[in-house]
Structure 1
Amino acid sequence: MTSRSRTLALLVALVLPLAGVSAAAARPAAPSPGPVDAMADVPASTAERAEALSPLHPSRPPRNDADQRDLVVTRVFVTTSVDSDRDGRPDVVRVVVTRPRPGVVGGRRLATVAQVSPYFSCCAGAPNHDVDVPLGQARRPSGAPGRIKDYLLTGIRTDGAAWARKGYAYARVASLGSNGSTGCPTIGDDLEAAGAVALVDWLNGRTTARTASGRLVRARGWSTGNVGMTGASYDGTLPNMAAATGVAGLRAIVPLSAISSWYHYYRQAGLVVAPGGYQGEDADVLARFDYTRRDRRICRPVIADLERDQDRATGDHNDFWAARDLVPRAGDVRAAVLIGHGFNDTNVKPDQAARWYAALRRAGVPAKIWWDQGSHGTPVPQRLVDRWFDHFLYGVRNGVAGGKRAAVSDGGTTRWYRSWPRPGSSPRTWTLRAGGGLAPGGRSSAARRTFTDDASLSAADVCASREREHAAIFRSAVLRRGLDLSGTPRADVRLTFDATAANVTVALCQVDPAGRGSLLTQGFADPQNVGSPTRGTPLVPGRPVDVRVELQPLDRALPPGARIALVVMSSDRDFTLRPPAGTRVTLAAAHSSLRLPVVR
């Protein structure tokens, strides 16, 4: 997938949460950051965190009839607390804020809804890595630079007026290393989060902002200091990242199709795994794509470090990826989180939302999740978003914080539940039977299935074709009562290889009464990493390996008359590296099983 293909998808994600199109204005020259006068970050105490999560004094957003002529538009460069480009000066982020004129809202101070994005300029040339390589190798991408355009002001008055009528200021922030911001895109760490955090700090009087001419601009005269963030894809990930820092004043976020662990975005269980549609992309490629600031040289050493530290050759987990995992930091979040995600999102896969939601709930963070059967960028209903912000940014008592916490929508019907997975879901083991059967309970047979790796095939292909030369397939009997699934399936398979390295792909398929198969969910693992996620061990040809593979979460009610099928194969054309064909794999059914989250 070329960078040009990602360009269209990301521009769609950019305008998804906040519609509006207008001609882009010329970009002003970025000022020198000047002297360091931002306040230093101070770790939050437990009491401060409790205060940040406590209810506000109830008020009402100052609803009004503002149009674009009633907006105050402020363009500033906000000082951050980091120096990601290593030039000895604090980075600054380019910010534009719209708000209704004081007379329109009776002089009321305003909460702010923000969108933080690396795509307000798009896009630098960023060819993907070659994936047609032997396992254990990585080939460096090369290519011509792209044509960069400025979108920061595109539709700003349309979006600003829409939020103004609801009683909010609206801010756009160009992420570090993009557009007119300084710094470098470091992909998923606290350096990158600092751009979003700086906006919250400025709106609370903890850092400074200046115009392009150097004039100091303060926000405390009109800002309540209460900030919400929303966006889809990367623009939803940055709110997650900012919230995980624990910054005071960020009170609510609505991340859509967002990442919570960058390792699980580009890897799984030791294996290099692509986001759906972007074969060969990795953290360094995304950084080059996002690197749109005018200085085209200063970030090259930073991106070179990303390329080295991501360790594309092995796929092992390391400190680079640990620093980009938000899940262990859920307890630091002070914001209420409304997650939106589609079960058929193969780009930012649904485990990103499931892990984040579970961690937030364990940490006692106010959180709800909206699931649907859509793909990347499927939005949460705007009325729910508005109620979320009204409650957590203005203290409106509208009931949104209570009640059931998980919704599952199929596009026509939406049902709310106490939690997710749905109540009543529990793991049920299915065993592999003689003759290629799959059945609940009992014991697996002593059968063995041998197949040959062929990276020209995908799991979706195998589900549709029942191709058996390059996969082991086990099918259930007809499901006379159907099958209701809610949660994360898991497969445990014993495999033997005739090579020292191999991919493992496991898929769950649905087969209709006519025999047509379709992919429900899949997962991947590196058999070299069964002993450790941080250090792979070469396979010994002929020696069995027990591999556990988590598939992507799902929530589906399969109808009576359908069947399910378990597919075990090696490489997947669309997601894994694609080594030369020919590796032979043998599955021992007696030591293999499938665990499904069945709602009883």
Structure 2
Amino acid sequence: MPTSRSPRPGTRGWRAPASVLCGALLALTATPAVAAPQPPPAPAPAPDAPRSEPVFAADPVRETVWVDTGLDGDADGATYRVAVDIARPRTDGPVPVIMDASPYYSCCGRGNENELKTYDDEGRPVGFPLFYDNYFVPRGYATVLVDLAGTNRSQGCVDVGGPSDVGSAKAVVDWLNGRAKGYDAATGGAEVGAGWSTGAVGMIGKSYDGTIANGVAATGVAGLRTIVPIGAISSWYDYYRSDGVSFGADPRGLAETVEEGGRPECAPVKQRLDEGAPANGDVTDLWAERDHAADAANVRASVFAVHGRNDLNVKMIQFGQWWDALAANDVPRKVWLSQTGHVDPFDFRRAEWVDTLHRWFDHELLGMDNGIDAEPAASVERAPDEWSDEASWSGESAAPTTLHPVPGDTDGLGGLTSEPAPADARAAFTDDPAQDEYDWAREPDQASPARALFTTAPLEQDLRLAGTGSISVTATPATPTAHLSAVLVDYGPATTRDALGEGEGIRTLDSESCWGESREDDDACYRDTEATTADVDYQVLSRGWADLANHGSLSEESPLTPGTPYEMTFRLATTDHVIPAGHRLGLVVGGTDSAFIQAPAEPGRVEVGLAGTSVSLPVVGGAAAVRDAGLDRAPTGTAAVRPDRLPAEPRVLLNRDGA
């Protein structure tokens, strides 16, 4: 992984150390906030649409229950309990539950302001992070915040997306439905039931929290009616690895962070994490066990997914493979895709988010016929704060369409077209582990020994890519080890969210807006945000990486013989991007993308056989759209990039310690 380095004035931004926590990025230093008692107006619902109203007392019941998970992760012969902090209306009738299961309630905080749970002198919960309890409890919902096993006040051990993590949250859903036991103490104590619960549960959360929601849904547990995963992982392998290469981080670091350095009894669990996550990037049983997309056939809950198209922490492949699996199993689903990085919709589209989430939970948990299921299922941010809605996400109907790199007049520079290259066409690069995709992309009209670059002719019509692509290569290494990277680039001027900047597309303001009922030590007011923008002349749309030694299998490397050609197909991250008419689409092929992956043991020269190399793109409209854009003709010339309009390097690429 790269280390911090100073920006080059006028070109690139600051790159943060990789140790910054995912989902717990430090908020900007706060100045005294100015309270605004009323939030901005939300979109008006249909006049006759039912809606839950804030009719319950502002002072809810607050309590902690310890739920027996039935698990014994530390093998001490005793099942462990997890702490469940509850805020619920003072009412005799049963209520549905909004649940956020997280490992971050004491170590790192939640939300843009890094809120932690707080307790009074007797250990009773007082401060609940985020606005869910303030807003939804008065409207007849219980808010349930679960300390994942091994974190905060829960017993057990963290296993980073494994049976302990997922099982501890699932046990709480079971308890809310009368299928598990709860107690009023961490050990011993009296049994406590959840008679106040209807059993209808909606799980929500960003990053690790949303990942747990995905995992619990993939168990098919009864009573879980809906999940709202935000910037969430669907496969832990693809968080730490990619087609045989490593991003340089391992699950142990995350486990140690959220356990806050303690729990020596959990050492065997960490040892199993080390053994099951080999540095060579191979897929193992540990990774297969943490692939929630593979279990999507079990999902009974509806899914409202949110993801940043420029999220370089929990990358878009996580959304894409999860969505594809849900679609294949006809799971009811809705999606928002923003231009931000790893950012919660509360901080990039706040009024619309609160309103939409409110109506979603009313429909899914209270059974209100409010029409939200008939509204557009997909909303995509096309420009800063400009959203496009569609009945269903076009990534489901986009057709895989093949383009081919072809040689040009200058070695290392070529074209990208629907016609394949001649049989003897070649390109080559020498792996330079000091360079990354931004070095490769920034001068498309200049040859570089570190990459091969291919561009289309200027598009005659807009071309939309939506979905998950792939690249197939024929590569001949000059050394026994070789890593490959492929990058898609939109060359042309645009104003976009500054997702690679410090706030990943947002700026935190001094003013506040309030969302729900405030109480002492738990107010409902949060600092407002606004979009940050950048004028650029190119954008990276998608990227993928692979270890050529895994050309035959992702679970086992094969030795490479220098001078021997190998064929390999690997994935490109999910995207949804419109390339405007007049822009060019570029494909970069290189070795070590130092912004993301680790270098091979012996980086060297790699020759690419162009006749055996192609890229499969998810084109909305398929081959006809490619023809209309003029990509069935050979390109001429290359794109130019003004040096004063370059995208900044990302502030956070991968956070070593977590999701």
- Asked if 2 retains the 8 angstrom alpha-carbon contact of 1:177 and 1:291, the reply is yes
TM-score by length of 1: 0.81
Q: C-alpha deviations, 1:511-542, integer Å up to 9, x for none?
A: 22699443221101111111112111011100
The gaps in structure 2 that reach 5 residues or longer are: 4-15, 28-32, 34-48, 110-115, 120-124, 347-352, 495-535, 626-659
Alignment-derived partner of residue 133 in structure 1:
none
In structure 2, C-alpha distance between the alignment counterparts of 1:348 and 1:516, rounded to whole Å: 25
Distance 1:397 1:547, change over 3 A: same
- Are positions 1:122 and 2:135 aligned together? no
Q: Who is 1:256 aligned against?
A: 230
How far 1:10 sits from its partner (Å)? 2.4
Distance apart, 1:67 and its partner CA: 6.1
Q: What is aligned with 2:96? A: 111
Write the mapping of 1:77-476 to structure 2, written as runs, cut at 5 A.
Answer: 77-102=66-91, 107-122=92-107, 155-156=127-128, 159-212=132-185, 214-216=188-190, 218-272=192-246, 274=247, 280-292=248-260, 296-312=263-279, 314-379=280-345, 381-402=353-374, 404-410=376-382, 411-421=385-395, 423=397, 425-435=399-409, 436-445=413-422, 446-466=424-444, 468-476=448-456
CA pair 6-71 structure 1, distance change in 2 beyond 3 A? farther
Call closer, same or farther: CA 1:496–1:428 in 2, change over 3 Å. closer
Please tell me whether residue 497 in structure 1 is matched to residue 472 in structure 2.
no
In structure 2, give the amino acid aligned to 1:110.
Answer: V
| Contact 2:233–2:319 under 8 Å retained in 1 | yes
Paired residues of 1:184 and 1:302 also in contact (CA < 8 A): yes
Higher relative contact order (CA 8 A, sep 6+): 2
Preserved CA contact (<8 Å) 1:357 1:369: no
Query: 1:428–1:598: 8 Å Cα contact kept in structure 2?
Result: no
How far apart in 1 are the matches of 2:584 and 2:51?
52
The Cα of 1:571 is off from its aligned counterpart by: 0.4
Partner deviation per Cα, 1:433-490 (whole Å, 9 max, x = no partner): 3333323322214332222111111112211134611111112222232322222232
Task: Specify the code of the residue in structure 1 equivalent to 2:217.
Answer: A
Residue type at the aligned position of 1:255: P
Q: Secondary structure at the match of 1:480?
A: coil
Instruction: Give, as a single letter, the amino acid of the residue that structure 2 aligns with 1:547.
Output: M
SS in 2 for 1:116: strand
- Cα offsets for 1:85-120 (capped at 9, x unmatched): 211111111111001212xxxx32100101110011
> Contact between 1:99 and 1:169, CA under 8 Å: does it hold in 2?
yes
**Does residue 71 of structure 1 match 2:43?**
no
**Following the alignment from structure 1 to structure 2, what is the Cα–Cα distance between the partners of residues 266 and 585?**
25
- State the AA in 2 paired with 1:11: A
Alpha-carbon distance in structure 2 between the residues aligned to 1:237 and 1:99: 25
Q: From the superposition, tell whether residues 161 and 533 of structure 1 become closer, same or farther in structure 2 (CA, over 3 Å).
A: same
For residues 386-434 of structure 1, what are the alpha-carbon distances to aligned partners after superposition, in whole Å with 9 as ceiling and x for unaligned? 2221112111112233454333223312212334316454424234233
- Displacement of 1:247: 1.2
Q: Distance in 2 between matches of 1:71 and 1:408?
A: 37
Letter in 1 for 2:266: C
Distance in 1 (CA, whole Å) between partners of 2:238 and 2:576 is 20
Task: Give the conservation status (yes or no) of the 8 Å contact 1:150–1:179.
Answer: no
Do the aligned partners of 1:7 and 1:122 also contact (CA within 8 Å) in 2? no
SS of 1:505's equivalent in the other structure is strand
Deviation at 1:575, TM superposition (A): 1.2
Aligned residues: 521
Give the corresponding residue for 2:655.
none
Distance 2:319 2:614 in 1: 26
Counterpart in the other structure of 1:141? none
Do 1:190 and 1:245's aligned partners in 2 also have CA atoms closer than 8 Å? no
Residue 597 (structure 1) shift: 2.2
The C-alpha deviation readout for 1:4-49, integer Å capped at 9, x for no partner, is 86555423599xxxxx9xxxxxxxxxxxxxxxxxxxxxxxxxxxxx
Residue equivalent to 1:506: 486
Relative to structure 1, the CA distance from residue 215 to residue 368 in structure 2 (aligned partners, 3 Å threshold; closer, same or farther) is same
Call closer, same or farther: CA 1:151–1:551 in 2, change over 3 Å. Answer: farther
Equivalent pair of 1:110/1:222 in contact (CA under 8 Å): yes
| CA distance 1:7–1:533, change in 2 (3 Å) | closer
Specify the alignment match of 1:10 in structure 2.
23
The normalised TM-score by structure 2 is 0.74
Three-state SS of the structure 1 residue aligned to 2:379 is strand
Amino acid in the other structure paired with 1:283: P
SS in structure 1 of the partner of residue 611 of structure 2: strand
CA–CA separation in structure 2 for the residues paired with 1:440 and 1:511: 16
Aligned to 2:610, what secondary structure does the other structure show? Answer: strand
Deviations 1:248-268 (CA, angstroms, capped at 9, x unpaired): 111111001111111111111
Aligned mates of 1:309, 1:457 — CA distance in 2:
30
| Alpha-carbon distance in 1 for matches of 2:195, 2:254 | 38
Q: Which residue pairs with 2:550 in the alignment? A: 529
Secondary structure of the equivalent of 1:541?
Answer: coil
State the SS of the aligned residue for 2:460: coil
| Separation in structure 2 between the aligned mates of residue 591 and residue 4 of structure 1, nearest angstrom | 39
Cα offset, 1:219, TM superposition: 4.0
Measured in 2, the distance between the counterparts of 1:7 and 1:210 equals: 36
Kindly indicate whether the alpha-carbon contact (under 8 Å) linking 1:259 and 1:265 is maintained by their aligned counterparts in 2: yes
Conserved? CA contact 2:173–2:201, under 8 Å? yes
CA contact (8 A) 1:460 1:518 kept: no
Q: Contact (CA 8 Å) 2:481, 2:602: kept in 1 or not?
A: no
Contact kept in structure 1, 2:232 and 2:318, CA below 8 Å: yes
- Residues 474 and 385 (structure 1 numbering): CA distance in 2 closer, same or farther, change over 3 Å? same
